[in-house]
Structure 1
């Protein structure tokens, strides 16, 4: 299986990791009302929850890009490289979000977004 497909799996697991950080960071986690509890959090727990939500937002675009580029026979090595860059940028994004480094977080988000655009464009520009 191509590395990029493994990256899709990792991207799908990232929301679980960040919500685990959120739940572990806040006081008195309430499993009877997890979403309500998360909404009432602040600080690190709140930022981890926001990263969790953003991972869900980024996932469909990334997965669609990988599948589209693969289906259109873009060079697999390039898809893999960009997919790994996406995962690296998203991991750094998470670290920046949880540690409240807003400007660097935005840069990481931008890099991850541009890697997805790059994956989509591979079939057009690279044969």
Structure 2
């Protein structure tokens, strides 16, 4: 398996870890986890619990975009060592994004999200160059 594919798997694992952290913070804030109405409870969260839940939701939104870009690059024949650099950039900046979300660093978070999009564009550009 290529390094870029490993980056997808790592991001999925990180998102599940965020789910666990978000659940723990929910219990810490509310005293319980509402298994019957978790979305209703989630909307009432504030502070770190709300931010971690939002970071996790954003992860589920961006991971498919990143994965599709990896697959496009792979199917276009982009060498794995070339695809690895934008994949590592995406992974590193994604982890920074989560930290920025957790610690309310909104302007940095937006800049880092833009870097995620640049990494995806880089993968597509390499695929187009070969195609």
TM-score, normalised by the number of residues in structure 1: 0.92
The residue that corresponds to 1:107 in the other structure is: 111
Unaligned runs of 5+ in 2: none
- 1:2-44 Cα deviation digits (max 9, x unpaired): 1111111112223212222222223223233222221110010
Deviation at 1:78, TM superposition (A): 1.5
Q: Distance between the aligned counterparts of 1:25 and 1:46, measured in 2?
A: 9
Runs in 1 of length 4+ with deviation above 4 angstroms?
none
Asked whether 1:12 is paired with 2:16, we answer no
The residue that corresponds to 2:48 in the other structure is: 44
Unaligned runs of 5+ in 1: none
Q: Distance between the aligned counterparts of 1:116 and 1:49, measured in 2?
A: 24
8 Å contact from structure 1 (residues 8, 63) kept in 2: yes
Instruction: Map 1:1-127; keep pairs closer than 5 Å.
Output: 1-26=1-26, 27=29, 28=31, 29-125=33-129
TM-score, normalised by the number of residues in structure 2: 0.89
Q: Distance between the aligned counterparts of 1:109 and 1:126, measured in 2?
A: 27
SS of 1:30's partner is coil
Number of equivalences? 127
8 Å contact from structure 1 (residues 11, 59) kept in 2: yes
8 Å contact from structure 1 (residues 18, 94) kept in 2: no
SS of 1:104's partner is helix
Which deviates more from structure 2 when the two are superposed, residues 84-93 or residues 7-16? 7-16
